[in-house]
């Protein structure tokens, strides 16, 4: 896979941007707490894709190493976030983000 | 040929991404995210990141998504049928999202990306993609690697602690 026959870099960056935007929209408009976390994973994947693209463009593997770190952080974040969501569900009996209004002011 | 593969995979990834924010049931959203994750693994293969593609399938599709499915099955709430799935005034936020896309897209359009060098030389030097990654990881990023392992320990303890929160003894 040489440098000549590769697809243009901007296509892949547009894909990454579109996925990131979908994640942002999902975090903003959805009510379900689990789907909020799923949208967060979508954003992290878009960032990972960007790292891999620029790793390929610059010709070294630093971006790929960084995307491994991003994956690890995503795993920890999913575990802790779902733990918090399950605790919230036990106490409030709902998954709706709009019903959590204890700190409303 | 590569363009066709890339466009198909990109279409599938975007389809999955739209499904995550459009489906009503969380389980459908999770399966939709699985489509996105697998398509992205294929795109990583196009960009000669074989180890990342394998790690994507093993960690994301095999690990993180299974945690999500466990959580969805654990809560198993039947309230989603009649309620609205979006917040009130969601069209405004959709508009904000499209605005973000257009704004960043104009920057990307106006940037001239140089032709990529490709990873061919680096991989040939080390004898493989995994070897090249491990060389960088263990030579230059050893301390962050160890710190991340500590982070995973903390995350595990925190998840166990919060999983038992609010349980009546």
Model confidence band, residue A2 (pLDDT cutoffs 50, 70, 90): very low
Nearest to A58 by CA among B91, B142, B119, B85: B119
Judge: A19–B17 Cβ closer than 8 Å, yes or no. Answer: yes
Q: Which of B7, B11, B14, B21 to mutate to test the interface with A (most CBs of A within 10 A)?
A: B21
Chain A residues within an 8 Å CB radius of B46: 7
pLDDT at B82: 62
Model confidence band, residue A22 (pLDDT cutoffs 50, 70, 90): very high
Counting one residue from A and one from B, how many pairs have CB atoms under 8 Å apart?
258
Nearest to A38 by CA among B11, B117, B36, B10: B36
- The alpha-carbon gap from A102 to the nearest alpha carbon of chain B, in Å, equals 17
Judge: B85–A31 Cβ closer than 8 Å, yes or no. Answer: yes
State the average pLDDT over residues A4-24. 88
pLDDT at B162: 85
Judge: A61–B122 Cβ closer than 8 Å, yes or no. Answer: yes
Mean pLDDT of chain A: 88
pLDDT at B10: 95
Phi–psi pair at B101, nearest 5 degrees: -60, -45
Q: Which of B2, B19, B60, B64 to mutate to test the interface with A (most CBs of A within 10 A)?
A: B64
- The alpha-carbon gap from B47 to the nearest alpha carbon of chain A, in Å, equals 6
CB B104 within 8 A of CB B98: no
Nearest to B8 by CA among B48, B52, B51, B42: B42
pLDDT at B118: 77
Judge: A38–B3 Cβ closer than 8 Å, yes or no. Answer: no
Judge: B17–A98 Cβ closer than 8 Å, yes or no. Answer: no
Distance CA B163, CA A58 (A): 43
CB A27 within 8 A of CB A36: yes
pLDDT at residue A1 greater than cutoff 60: no
Q: Which residue of B has its CA nearest to A20?
A: B101
Judge: B129–A18 Cβ closer than 8 Å, yes or no. Answer: no
In this prediction, the residues of chain B whose per-residue pLDDT falls under 70 are 77-82, 166, 168-169
Spell out the residues 6+ positions from residue B24 whose beta carbon is closer than 8 angstroms to its own: B80, B85
The predicted model scores a pTM of 0.90
Q: Which residue of B has its CA nearest to A84?
A: B162
pLDDT at B28: 92
Judge: A48–B132 Cβ closer than 8 Å, yes or no. Answer: no
Give CA separation, B12 vs A79, B38, B115, B151, in Å: 27, 9, 26, 33
pLDDT at B163: 78
pLDDT at A3: 47
SS3 A10: helix
Neighbours of B81 (CB within 10 A): 7
Distance CA A46, CA B49 (A): 15
Taking each continuous run of H as one helix and of E as one strand, the counts in chain B are 8, 0
Give CA separation, A99 vs A96, B24, B44, B83, B164, in Å: 6, 18, 40, 13, 22
Distance CA B132, CA A55 (A): 12
Distance CA B152, CA B169 (A): 28
Judge: A75–B55 Cβ closer than 8 Å, yes or no. Answer: no
C-alpha Rg value of chain B to the nearest Å: 21
C-beta contacts of B18-21 below 8 A and 24+ residues apart:
B18/A22, B20/A22, B20/A26, B20/A35, B20/A38, B20/A39, B20/A42, B21/A22, B21/A25, B21/A26, B21/A29, B21/A30, B21/A35, B21/A39
pLDDT at residue A19 greater than cutoff 50: yes
Model confidence band, residue A89 (pLDDT cutoffs 50, 70, 90): confident
Q: What is the pLDDT of residues A23-65, one digit of tens each?
A: 999 999 998 899 999 999 999 999 999 999 999 988 888 999 9
ipTM: 0.89
């Amino acid at each position: 896979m040489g440098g000549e026959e590769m697809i243009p870099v901007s296509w892949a960056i547009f894909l990454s941007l579109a996925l990131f935007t979908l994640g942002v929209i999902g975090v903003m408009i959805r009510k379900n707490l689990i789907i909020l976390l799923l949208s967060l994973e979508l954003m992290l994947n878009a960032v990972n894709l960007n790292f891999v693209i620029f790793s390929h463009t610059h010709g070294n593997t630093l971006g790929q190493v960084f995307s491994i770190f991003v994956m690890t952080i995503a795993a920890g974040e999913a575990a802790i976030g779902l733990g918090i969501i399950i605790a919230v569900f036990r106490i409030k009996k709902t998954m709706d983000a709009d019903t959590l209004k204890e700190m409303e002011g | 040929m590569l363009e066709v593969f890339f466009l198909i995979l990109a279409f599938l990834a975007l389809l999955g991404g739209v499904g995550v924010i459009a489906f009503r049931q969380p389980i459908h959203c999770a399966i939709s995210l699985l489509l996105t994750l697998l398509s992205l693994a294929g795109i990583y293969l196009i960009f000669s990141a074989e180890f990342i593609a394998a790690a994507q399938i093993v960690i994301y599709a095999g690990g993180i998504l299974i945690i999500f499915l466990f959580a969805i099955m654990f809560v198993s709430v039947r309230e989603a049928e009649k309620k609205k799935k979006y917040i009130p005034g969601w069209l405004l936020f959709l508009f904000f999202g499209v605005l973000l896309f257009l704004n960043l897209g104009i920057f990307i359009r106006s940037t001239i990306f140089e032709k990529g060098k490709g990873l061919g030389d680096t991989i040939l030097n080390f004898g493989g993609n995994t070897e090249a990654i491990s060389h960088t990881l263990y030579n230059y990023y050893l301390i962050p690697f160890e710190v991340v392992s500590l982070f995973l320990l903390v995350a595990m303890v925190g998840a166990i602690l919060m999983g038992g929160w609010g349980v009546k003894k």
